[in-house]
Structure 1
Amino acid sequence: MYLSRVEIDTKNRYKTRDLTHLGAFHNWVEQSFPKELATGIRHRHLWRLDTLAGKQYLLVLSETAPDADLLLTYGVPGTAVTKSYDPFLSRLQDGQLMQFRLTANPTHTISRPGQKQGRVVPHVTIAQQRQWLADRAEKSGFQLVEQSIVGTDEDVKQVFDIVGRDWPMLHRKTGRGVRLSRVTFEGLLRISDVAVFKQTLTSGLGREKAFGMGLMTVIPED
């Protein structure tokens, strides 16, 4: 596995004029793997958008390394970096504490009378979105860990935080465009089943993985 990052050239509006919806970012990611396009053997590429210190980044997790030049299509020159993810995965252990960041599409299914397939709808409240992650933690190989958050009067105990919520547009090739619920979580976790947890990191969590959802990244807690 490979983890890549590139700073998006947001100051060059002409260069990034096409990046108006999630489908455009998806196309950017897919075009960065020309060998897969040529052979027709496509792999899933997890990706997400991060904003750090006022700069926006595209983060991509993939089975093969992307083409560095194509990854820079909408990026700031010299900022594309790709590293092997396997050494990091091999060092993960049960019981390890990790800081995590996850961008996901929290949804649930509503059953419909007389129909076998239910309707998938987004969770819209913060409470629902928090519960969505809590419900998936254990079966995804980790436990959410309570930590102290410094408040105005006294420290507040909480398991994790929601640091971003929005509804980006997705234009499909056919039909009308739709808005997807996008939620970014941050917090502390403990690995409870390292094999399952590695699968979560490499396969993603939740729906709409092709459109910037599901990628969890972690760093060891000091």
Structure 2
Amino acid sequence: MFLTRFRINTARLGSRNLLASPQHMHAAVMSSFAGALPSAENTSRVLWRLDRNSRAEVLLFMVSEERPDLTHLVEQAGWPTTAAWQTYDYKTFLDGLTIGTTWAFRLTANPVHNVRRTPNEPLKRTAHRTPRHQMGWLLKHQQDAGFRILETPAEQRRLPQGDEHQLIVRDERRHRFSKTEMITGMANQVPLVTVTFDGRLEVTDPVALRRTLTLGLGKAKAYGCGLMTLAQAG
């Protein structure tokens, strides 16, 4: 497994096109792998995420089984003569995860649930709209994903409701794009709501957490969702 980091040059026209469209970014990411054929059913999963730390600092992270070649992204959206990308061996880090260790984490996800307005209406996938419900979505998935989000000490919680967990939700983004159905050939408008979670967690199941870090969490993985990364907790 490999973890790759690439800084996007936001001043370039090609960057603006990629940053405005999850579809275009997905295509650019998949073009980084010689073995990723669009028609191949056994193509390995590639996770990616954009970290928009500031207007001038946007980072692309990727997790993949195959080592990527981002030459085309450097030429389109980077600094061709002065900067490239960094790819790290991820397996060593994953193998070192142990129960009880704590980490800071970041995750961009598509928090959704299935609802129906009437008893006879089929279930419809709908995005959670409020930060509290979005947090609830992640808390619901934490056990199966191999971690526990740390609680906030009582004396540090804000009134009146307080922040029960060391978790924040930020950078909500709403996208809408056309997607062609394979069977009918018709194009449908697809809505996509993404949010970024920052917080602190404790490892409860290293095997499950390794699966989460390499296969992703939640829906819309092709569009920049599901990739969780860990860092030393300060």
TM-score norm. by structure 2 comes to 0.83
What CA deviation, in whole Å up to 9, does each residue of 1:48-67 have, x standing for no partner?
Answer: 10023541111111111111
Maintained 8 Å contact 1:96/1:220: no
Q: Are 1:218 and 2:233 matched, yes or no?
A: no
SS in 1 for 2:63: strand
Question: Which residue in 1 is equivalent to 2:79?
Answer: 76
Question: Which residue in 2 is equivalent to 1:65?
Answer: 67
Match of 2:216 among 201, 204, 211: 204
Question: Which residue in 1 is equivalent to 2:176?
Answer: 169
- Rounded Cα–Cα distance in structure 1 between residues aligned with 2:163 and 2:114: 33
Question: Which residue in 1 is equivalent to 2:47?
Answer: 46
Maintained 8 Å contact 1:46/1:214: yes
Maintained 8 Å contact 1:6/1:76: no
TM-aligned CA deviation for residue 156 of structure 1: 6.7
- Rounded Cα–Cα distance in structure 2 between residues aligned with 1:129 and 1:150: 19
Q: Say what the alpha-carbon RMSD is for the aligned residues.
A: 2.5
Q: Are 1:119 and 2:131 matched, yes or no?
A: no
- Rounded Cα–Cα distance in structure 2 between residues aligned with 1:12 and 1:208: 27
- Rounded Cα–Cα distance in structure 1 between residues aligned with 2:229 and 2:198: 10
- Rounded Cα–Cα distance in structure 2 between residues aligned with 1:38 and 1:106: 27
- Summarize the Cα distance change of 1:188–1:34 in structure 2 as closer, same or farther, 3 Å threshold: same
Structure 1's unaligned 5+ residue stretches are none
SS in 2 for 1:219: strand
SS in 2 for 1:200: helix
TM-aligned CA deviation for residue 157 of structure 1: 6.1
Maintained 8 Å contact 1:104/1:214: yes
SS in 2 for 1:167: strand
Using the TM superposition, name which of 155-164 and 176-185 deviates more: 155-164
Question: Which residue in 2 is equivalent to 1:3?
Answer: 3
Kindly provide the amino acid, as one letter, of the partner of residue 225 in structure 2.
Answer: M
- Summarize the Cα distance change of 1:195–1:57 in structure 2 as closer, same or farther, 3 Å threshold: same
Q: Are 1:29 and 2:32 matched, yes or no?
A: no
Maintained 8 Å contact 2:63/2:214: yes
Structure 2's unaligned 5+ residue stretches are 181-185
- Rounded Cα–Cα distance in structure 1 between residues aligned with 2:3 and 2:129: 30
TM-score norm. by structure 1 comes to 0.87
